[in-house]
Amino acid sequence: MGSLVAKLADRIDRFGPLPFDEVMDLALYDPEGGFFATSGSAGRRGDFLTSPEVGPLFGAVLARAIDSWWESLGEPDPFLVVDAGAGSGTLARGVLAAEPSCSGAMTLVLVESSDVLRSQHQLGLPLVPPAVVLPAASVRYDGEPKTESGAGPRVVSLPGLPALNFKGVVVANELLDNLPFRIVEWEDDGWHEIRVGREGDAFTEVLAPCPELTRILGPLAGRIPTGARVPVQTAAASWVRTVLGRLTLGRLVVFDYAATTSELVSREGGWLRTFRAHERGLSPLQDLGEQDITSDVAIDQVTRDHPPTLVESQAQFLHRWGINGLVNEGRRIWHERASIGDLAAIRGRSRVREAEALQDPDGLGGFTVLHWEVRGT
């Protein structure tokens, strides 16, 4: 029995069947055996592919949006941009490679809980110690980051959100789907929670009453078939509240695959997925620590307390911020330099394929983008 499995078995023996979010938290984030703490990662050589790993085009389009948001805030210097759930830093590298106009003012904060992934932030990024540009992370700070005017871009790597109030932008690409959630199932007498128990060395599902979760879900549209399951995403909703509570002026932008809770009811559990080496994995209670566990984000749950300013698809977002212009520029570069075949030519040609993948309505282009604009008082 591995250390992670033994740890989970010990908790069940001491406390009884556990909520699924506790099991998921261990399976993904346990410092010794969790998936992201050991081997799990995004990328072509990793376990799944996100928009930044398709190529640098996603970061280049996002850089255009960030420039516009910076200008709308009056071009503050310093300008804090938080990449929440930064992974190995691929998105940050794409944004900086695009050389946005706000670079000189930018303090780019990469937030990643995995020590293994965070260790890769030093590769190709101008990292500085957090104390150089941020106040003590343990102190609530109602002011601006500390940095010289025009000294950016500076990059800071942290294991958690900086505990300060700030003006700026927070971007979360495929983060909320990985935050631990609980699971409920509809029976003839109402909702019951799926908890995790064990029989010998095997982990099993146990149904338990859950009046507090019923209150969180509230009424759902349409008939609920017996056996239907949905996630209860209190951690994701709490994360959104935390970020919006720290932003004094600016915006939060979230990219993820998402649907309403009522829509998830009809999917017969298809919203719950596992991944490993770009393939669908086994049951989430198998191979703990060796596969990703993820879910569609329940839009109505994470926006209930704070309705978003704008909801759009990823394809719409990319179109609005000029992906077509960047693709046309890539075509021009390719035609001009194809005979040379240098790196610029290859990058220009790759933009066409990247754009197709990023805007595919049945794939990444169908992702939901949630915007919260904080205008201050």
Encode pLDDT of 88-105 as tens digits.
999 999 999 999 999 999
The predicted-structure confidence for 122-179, as pLDDT tens digits, reads as follows: 999 999 998 888 765 433 444 555 556 667 799 999 999 988 888 999 999 999 999 9
pTM: 0.90
The predicted-structure confidence for 169-228, as pLDDT tens digits, reads as follows: 999 999 999 999 999 999 988 899 999 999 988 899 999 989 888 888 877 877 889 999
Can you give the residue ranges of every domain in the chain? Answer: 3-33+178-237+258-300, 324-360
DSSP three-state, residue 20: helix
Q: What's the whole-number mean pLDDT along residues 17-34?
A: 94
Beta pairing partners, 259: 298
Show the tokens assigned to 147: 């940095």
Show the tokens assigned to 19: 């909520």
The predicted-structure confidence for 214-272, as pLDDT tens digits, reads as follows: 888 877 877 889 999 999 999 999 999 999 999 999 999 999 999 999 999 988 778 99
pLDDT computed for residue 141 by the predictor: 40
Report whether 25 contacts 309 (CB < 8 A). Answer: no
| DSSP calls for 182-216 | EEEEEETTEEEEEEEEEETTEEEEEEEE-HHHHHH
Distance of CA 236 to the CA centre of its chain: 10
* Residue, of 335 and 63, whose pLDDT is higher: 63
pLDDT computed for residue 80 by the predictor: 94
Beta pairing partners, 51: none
Q: What is the dihedral of CA 48, 54, 55, 57, to 10 degrees?
A: -130
